[in-house]
Amino acid sequence: MKNKTRILGVAGSLRKDSYNRKLLRAIAGIAPENIEVEIYELDKIPLYNQDIDTPESMPESVRDFKRRIKEADAILFVTPEYNRSIPGVLKNAIDWASRPYNDNSFDDKPVATIGATDGMLGTAVAQYHMREIFSFLNAHPMERPQLFVSGISKKLAGGKVQDEELKKLLLLFINNLALWAARINNGKA
């Protein structure tokens, strides 16, 4: 039996000071010892081009991303909301990872989403849009808890979660994702 649940964490923004990137790093920092959160940066993933989505021509950065998804026990997306949807950079990466046909890295994979904003809605629409994408990709989104973080600038400082209620919710979330991954992955044996 494995000692650690390996979660691949992906921030849906390329912005250096992205609240969602900071939140992902904070989650990795508070994860219990039995959970390892590897953070994957999307900045090396080129724009999707079907002309090069064959195993022979696929960019190395995409191959690496696909491999890390497949090796992880679960995937955690921490994403902003752009125009009531997910950021283009995140959709682009998901498209690459689901290709070529018959090599969908998300197939039967446990996934979860969190989003943070300084606004009021906490990325709810983007997260629900991601659930539609997961459904098509045959991934398994964790249903509870759902976490829509608003007013994030007052809850994070110096890379640490300052808000105790948020910290409790994040720990509950990451622990539930590990349990969800075990449930889904044990069913594959």
- Per-residue confidence in pLDDT tens, the chain, 189 aa: 458 999 999 999 999 999 999 999 999 999 999 999 999 999 999 999 999 999 899 999 999 999 999 999 999 999 999 999 999 999 999 999 999 989 999 999 999 999 999 988 779 999 999 999 999 999 999 998 888 999 999 999 888 999 999 999 999 999 999 999 999 999 775
pTM over 0.75: yes
Domain extent at residue 85:
5-186
Max CA-CA distance within the chain? 49
Count how many domains the chain has.
1
Mind listing the pLDDT tens digit for each residue in 34-55? 999 999 999 999 999 999 999 8
Structure tokens at 86: 């997910």
The confidence score (pLDDT) of residue 119 equals 85
CATH number, domain with residue 122 = 3.40.50.360
The confidence score (pLDDT) of residue 159 equals 84
The confidence score (pLDDT) of residue 1 equals 46
| pLDDT more than 70, % of the chain | 98
DSSP letters of the chain? Answer: --SSEEEEEEES---TT-HHHHHHHHHHHH--TTEEEEEE--TTPPPP-GGG-STTTS-HHHHHHHHHHHHSSEEEEE---BTTB--HHHHHHHHHHT-STT--TTTT-EEEEEEE-SSSSTTHHHHHHHHHHHHHHT-EE--SS-EEE-SGGGTEETTEE--HHHHHHHHHHHHHHHHHHHHHHHTT-
